[in-house]
Structure 1
């Protein structure tokens, strides 16, 4: 398998992961509050989470998920509740190192958990599996290629958002500015739930 053959999949993954959503909002908030280095665990968790979802979708688990509407509703509900909880944490936090609910960054497991309960991640990877199924001759190879591609591309995309958040965090000087940013990011996180329930 050549890099030229993988380019369409890489481009699909890049467009899918760099557009605003729940994971990008969390990466931005973490970068603003804790800096890039301390945000690496949540970035890595989200990247590995998406990679594992892509791997499972390419291996056929996505088809099972699509065939069970009740399971989809459970996942949407759990994912929505988790994102609302994160939005509340962000909205109630103050400037870095001044206390609040965001006293420490979210970790690796939180990133994985968030992606496994995110219907957008499943829909995106199932669509990719359907579109790029001919990249490999067997489902195991396809699953590995998908998992690695989405994991690495997501890590890149989320790193950009996290670095942007860190830069934004350096520009904010007053508690009022931090409250405004936290409220804005919390609202974005809640808004990112809406597409989960469409379609």
Structure 2
């Protein structure tokens, strides 16, 4: 593979990982509310979940999806329904800053599962593979995934950092409710953009 192709794949991975989406917004919200440790655990799960999805698509699922395009639509609608559910949960959240209960904290598994239900992750995987390595040999898929792994984690880390900085400002339930409602509307808006 040429240096220019590797650079192009890296830029694509950065743009796809850093741009706002459901996983990014939950990284921001979770970090603001629960702190750095919870944020880093969540994004590690999200990154590894995405890489597993990317590898599965790159190593064969893309051929099934091309043969049966309705599968993509079903997955997209299931993902949108899940994201709208998360948006609703954020919108009705009380903003209570009591972090003694860990049941609402975003976890490693939450991050991993989020990627599998995230239409943006599916679209980024399929479009990245189709555009940069359409023949999708094992070596090419593994190389692209090895580029994506640190780029995705660091990009989500930017959202964690932003959440930590915002969390210092949102130290009252009223301010946390405002932030959650704003993020909820943005998350629902991202679903609308996926539909149109």
TM-score range relative to shorter protein = 0.7 to 0.9
User: 151, 154, 169: which one pairs with 2:152?
Assistant: 154
User: 177, 184, 192: which one pairs with 1:194?
Assistant: 192
Q: Distance in 2 between matches of 1:103 and 1:90?
A: 15
Q: Would you say 1:12 and 2:12 are equivalent positions?
A: yes
User: Do the aligned residues in 2 keep the contact of 1:39 with 1:105 (CA within 8 Å)?
Assistant: no
- TM-aligned CA distance change 1:197 to 1:63, over 3 Å: farther
User: Do the aligned residues in 2 keep the contact of 1:62 with 1:122 (CA within 8 Å)?
Assistant: no
Q: Distance in 2 between matches of 1:189 and 1:118?
A: 11
Structure 2 equivalent of residue 107 of structure 1:
107
Unaligned residue ranges in structure 2 (runs of 5+): none
Q: Distance in 1 between matches of 2:16 and 2:180?
A: 25
Structure 2 equivalent of residue 97 of structure 1:
98
Q: Kindly report the root-mean-square deviation, in angstroms, between the aligned alpha carbons of the 2 structures.
A: 2.4
Q: Summarize the alignment of residues 48-63 of structure 1 with structure 2, pairs less than 5 Å apart.
A: 48-63=48-63
- TM-aligned CA distance change 1:103 to 1:177, over 3 Å: farther
Unaligned residue ranges in structure 1 (runs of 5+): none
Q: CA deviation at 1:12?
A: 0.8
Q: Summarize the alignment of residues 50-199 of structure 1 with structure 2, pairs less than 5 Å apart.
A: 50-91=50-91, 92-97=93-98, 104-133=104-133, 139-198=137-196
Number of residue pairs the alignment of both structures matches: 195
User: Do the aligned residues in 1 keep the contact of 2:38 with 2:107 (CA within 8 Å)?
Assistant: no
User: Do the aligned residues in 2 keep the contact of 1:51 with 1:150 (CA within 8 Å)?
Assistant: yes
